[in-house]
Amino acid sequence: MEKYFHGFLCIIIITFSLIHFVQAQDQEGFITLDCGLLPDGSPYTNPSTGLVFTSDSSFIESGQNSRISKDFERIFEKPFLTLRYFPDGERNCYNLKVTQGTNYLIRASFLYGNYDGSNTVPNFDIFVGPNKWTTLNLNATGGGMHEEMIHMSRSSSLNVCLVKTGSTTPMISTLELRPLRSDIYVSAIGSSLHLRLRSYISDSGLFLRYPDDIYDRRWFPFSDKEYTVVTTTLSVNTTNGYDPPQGAMASAVTHVNDNGTLKFPWNLTDSTTRFHIYLHFAELQTLLANETREFNVLLNGNIFYGPFSPRKLSIETMITKPESTLTCEGGNCLLQLVKTAKSTLPPLINALELFDVVEFPQSETNQYEVNAIKKIQTAYGLSRISWQGDPCVPTQFLWAGLKCSNTDNSSTPPTITFLNLSSSGLTGIVASSIQNLTHLEELDLSNNYLEGAVPEFLADIKSLLIINLSGNNLSGQVPQKLQQKKGLKLNVEGNSKLLCSEGSCSNKAGEGGHPKKNIIVPVVASVSLMVVLIAGLVLFFVLKKKNSSRSKEEGRTGRTSEPPRITKKKRFTYAEVTEMTNNFERVLGKGGFGIVYHGYVNGTEQVAVKVLSQASTHGHKQFKAEVELLLRVHHKNLVSLVGYCEKGKELALVYEYMANGDLKEFLSEKRGESVLRWGTRLQIALEAAQGLEYLHKGCRPPIVHRDVKTANILLDEHFQAKLADFGLSRSFLNEGESHVSTVVAGTIGYLDPEYYNTSWLTEKSDVYSFGVVLLEIITNQPVIDQTRERSYIAEWVRLMVTNGDIRKIVDLSLNGDYHSDSVWKFVELAMTCVNDSSTTRPTMSQVVIELTECIKSENSRGGTSQSMVSKSSREVTMTFDTNVNPMAR
């Protein structure tokens, strides 16, 4: 019972309790930066959203401006064309003025676009204040992504920092802040919400953001062919504080399977991830007097909220309480809407959002002192590359010349205890803001050009023990208060105009044998006095006791122990893997997450064994995903799994052997074999297309491959083509990871340009990538080649087609041995696939039909262009398939 209530209490329903809020329909409070934009082009209005972008130049002092490669320019919206990159310094920070205590939606986007011509996609970290937000692996995404979080700023300035983590150069394209009301998307103190997914149910294909959404959230339409989508043309009252766009609430799913359960499964790559969910409901149908819609909301089989009946045309939002910690055992999550017994109608949902909780434990440096040190920086015009972001934390980015206390107790704001501006070329007077560094123990301003008096306020800084003002041009009298301060060590050597009271200066000077110098070294107290007790610690926030609440949660979310499906497959021991590969003797290649070896099963049957490199934990997840997908999916044009090995950290996948390697190698003639003839190429294209079509149409939910490229099209001994590398494929909620943030597959040049604008990959994104593959097949040219008239293959072919130079497109090594009809058709097809707009691209089924037509017209030519291999040898064998259903779920 207790468990039940714990679950129940995680959720609260928001109806109309929050309506006393004046909605800002304009862009008031929005910060919308186009990074790298020159100030003279600023501001401008982006036509697609009406958002007004400004240059980032007044929000950051470091970095340089650049533009993405011309090849990609035409494809992207203006904000993505320019960027700022950071060749210098470890940490570079934007400093944004915000309203203290306000919740902000922070969105940053990154489009590499080969701006530096090096084709090296960077990887780096992004921080908000002193806390790490996330690692950006642009390398894994084809060079572009968006990240979004909801964060409450505890001070009136917010730092967003890019942190170099390897040899590559951090860069950024846009940075956007949207103030939210502070009673929505509330997270526990010391944490923020990182967006994983925000979708609404619709088959419209319309992506919603500002101005449809007053907060400029981005909503992705989602539908499944099992769904019954209901829509309304009536207005839905969406006013409950969360205020999703009208468009997002005006459609919903009422999925009807046998017993009326709507399921939303998703997998977390890290099973300790805590998350929050927000579910938006509004009844869209008119219920008859004898009809009821009532359902329970279950998370991992436990009642989460219910019974519940959505209100007619009026929003209600189910939210996770800020302090609740939702986790899923083993990282497998399942949200279910289950119809109650008395309900006559299936459940319904309009929109949902999913956030991961990111811990932001590190408290920012004492705001009062941050303001003081910034004033000091301004007063002296100091520009130091390290003087960006938080002065004290994280400690590896401590500002040069500073020391701080409390940096090891993250819940206490650090304070500045030491300031060394020795030999920094300081001019003018001793900055008055120093008096606001109230925890200062040591101050070194020696060897500068400071003038004027030694200020008395130095004596008021209670903790101050050492002051070094030597080697300046200070004048006047050293204040008595300072001279008399107990325990203070003051050095004013080398200030010729400085006078000391009571003659003590001159006495000392005389003794030192330097008549020009005035020295005061008053009362040096016992060493014990040097130990300072820091007073006035401010407790900014208390960290939640994660462990206790988490273990409770885990108890609650216990899942039925269904045996893993994997046991049905052939499982090898590590010893067997060692044996089958003859101790990893022959390397076939190197994949994303490990090395692929050649091997034999049963002594004769050849296999390819992919061994996961132990270093990569990320790879581990990827690897499991791959196993799961391969087990679900069987098709003659998809590389099939023979077995696997899992023993602790040792992981290996055993695939059928593909004797002729990958298409990329083959086209590039690395293998030194004869040229693939046109007929064979057509056949390979068709087979790869069929594999992809199966993923899109034959699987439920559809699988988006996400990394279609020639290197992932493998050829067996009969040149039968099979698609490989499903490790990065995802479906629905998992896909969410990529919709908005982290793990997106894709390779630059192959990646759907629409993705960059919407950060949303669909089946049509695979179609785009496939179009690029088709272009490579016909041209046998690299996807990106700086020496070509247009370096990006799609742009180059477009230019050639426009000029009517189709012969120039076709691979010369084909020696004209092809039917021009089939070639034309093929190029035409490829070009429709690489259409910028996904809606005008064909589906894979259409691609399959078109390719079949190409083959027909090629064959009609007869004689000369037979494939390298005869059709009869192209039979398929699926040796190891056991009792796995042929149709994926």
Q: Give the residue ranges of the annotated binding site for ATP.
A: 610
Instruction: Give the pairing type, strands 157-164 and 123-128.
Output: antiparallel
Asked if 420 touches ligand NAG (CB under 6 A), the answer is yes
* The residue to which tokens 């400071």 are assigned: 450
| Contacts of 220 by beta carbon, 8 Å cutoff, 6+ apart | 197, 198, 199, 200, 207, 739, 758, 760
Binding residues for ligand NAG, rule CB under 6 A, total: 46
Asked if 19 touches ligand NAG (CB under 6 A), the answer is yes
Asked if 466 touches ligand NAG (CB under 6 A), the answer is yes
Are 311 and 285 within 8 A, CB to CB? Answer: no
User: What is the Rg, in whole angstroms, of the alpha carbon atoms belonging to the chain?
Assistant: 33
Q: Which stretch binds ligand NAG (CB under 6 A): 256-264, 736-744, 832-840, 875-883?
A: 256-264
Q: Which stretch binds ligand NAG (CB under 6 A): 128-136, 195-203, 464-472, 606-614?
A: 464-472
- CA 533/CA 552 separation, integer angstroms: 39
Shortest Å distance, C-beta 667 to ligand NAG: 18
Quick one: 193 exposed, middle or buried, by C-beta within 10 A (0-12, 13-18, 19+)? buried
List the catalytic residue out of 662, 707, 716, 811: 707
Beta bridge partners of 608: 598, 655
Which of 54, 237, 549, 857 is the binder for ligand NAG (CB under 6 A)?
237
Asked if 628 touches ligand NAG (CB under 6 A), the answer is yes
Asked if 409 touches ligand NAG (CB under 6 A), the answer is yes
Which of 239, 781, 843, 859 is the binder for ligand NAG (CB under 6 A)?
239
Residue 751 DSSP one-character state: S
Shortest Å distance, C-beta 330 to ligand NAG: 7
Q: Which is nearer to ligand NAG, 54 or 371 (CB)?
A: 371
Residue 665 DSSP one-character state: H
Q: Which is nearer to ligand NAG, 19 or 812 (CB)?
A: 19
Shortest Å distance, C-beta 818 to ligand NAG: 33
Residue type, 871: K
Quick one: how far is CA 589 from the chain centroid? Answer: 28
Q: Which is nearer to ligand NAG, 38 or 287 (CB)?
A: 287
Tell me which residues in 676-735 interact with ligand NAG (CB under 6 A): 731, 734
Shortest Å distance, C-beta 258 to ligand NAG: 5
Asked if 616 touches ligand NAG (CB under 6 A), the answer is no
Asked if 531 touches ligand NAG (CB under 6 A), the answer is no
HEC assignment per residue over 494-544? CCCEEECHHHHHHHHHHHHCCCCCCCCCCCCCCHHHHCCCCCCCCCCCCCC
Q: Which is nearer to ligand NAG, 336 or 581 (CB)?
A: 336
Which of 324, 468, 712, 757 is the binder for ligand NAG (CB under 6 A)?
468
Site string for ligand NAG, 276-305 (x = CB under 6 A): ------------x-x---------------
Are 744 and 147 within 8 A, CB to CB? Answer: no
Are 278 and 352 within 8 A, CB to CB? Answer: yes
- CA 125/CA 579 separation, integer angstroms: 41
Shortest Å distance, C-beta 34 to ligand NAG: 26
- Residue 671 tokens read as 């293998």
Q: Which is nearer to ligand NAG, 279 or 419 (CB)?
A: 419
Q: Which stretch binds ligand NAG (CB under 6 A): 66-74, 406-414, 579-587, 681-689?
A: 406-414
Asked if 265 touches ligand NAG (CB under 6 A), the answer is yes
Asked if 269 touches ligand NAG (CB under 6 A), the answer is no
List the one residue out of 483, 564, 495 whose CA is nearest residue 521. Answer: 483
Half-sphere exposure at residue 641, Cβ-oriented, CA atoms within 13 angstroms:
29
- CA 589/CA 603 separation, integer angstroms: 22
Asked if 119 touches ligand NAG (CB under 6 A), the answer is no
Residue 351 DSSP one-character state: E
Longest dimension (CA), the chain: 114
Q: Does 707 qualify as catalytic in the annotation?
A: yes
Shortest Å distance, C-beta 811 to ligand NAG: 25
Tell me which residues in 337-396 interact with ligand NAG (CB under 6 A): 338, 344, 368, 371-372, 375
Q: Which is nearer to ligand NAG, 678 or 760 (CB)?
A: 760
Shortest Å distance, C-beta 436 to ligand NAG: 4
Asked if 156 touches ligand NAG (CB under 6 A), the answer is no
Residue type, 789: E
Q: Which is nearer to ligand NAG, 123 or 857 (CB)?
A: 123
Please state whether 705 falls in left (phi above 0), alpha (psi between -120 and 50) or beta: alpha
With H, G, I as helix, E, B as strand and everything else as coil, classify residue 690.
helix
Annotated binding site: 610
Residue 458 DSSP one-character state: G
- CA 394/CA 85 separation, integer angstroms: 22
- Residue 869 tokens read as 């291999």
Instruction: Give the pairing type, strands 11-14 and 171-172.
Output: unpaired
Asked if 470 touches ligand NAG (CB under 6 A), the answer is yes
- CA 640/CA 607 separation, integer angstroms: 10
Shortest Å distance, C-beta 375 to ligand NAG: 5
| Contacts of 436 by beta carbon, 8 Å cutoff, 6+ apart | 368, 369, 371, 372, 375
Asked if 779 touches ligand NAG (CB under 6 A), the answer is no
Quick one: how far is CA 318 from the chain centroid? Answer: 26
Asked if 173 touches ligand NAG (CB under 6 A), the answer is no
Site string for ligand NAG, 533-572 (x = CB under 6 A): ----x-x---------------------------------
* Binding positions for ligand NAG, rule: CB under 6 A: 16, 19, 123, 139, 168, 237, 239, 258-259, 261, 265-267, 288, 290, 332, 338, 344, 368, 371-372, 375, 409, 411-412, 420, 422-423, 432-433, 435-436, 444, 446-447, 466, 468, 470-471, 489, 491, 537, 539, 628, 731, 734
Catalytic sites, residue numbers = 707
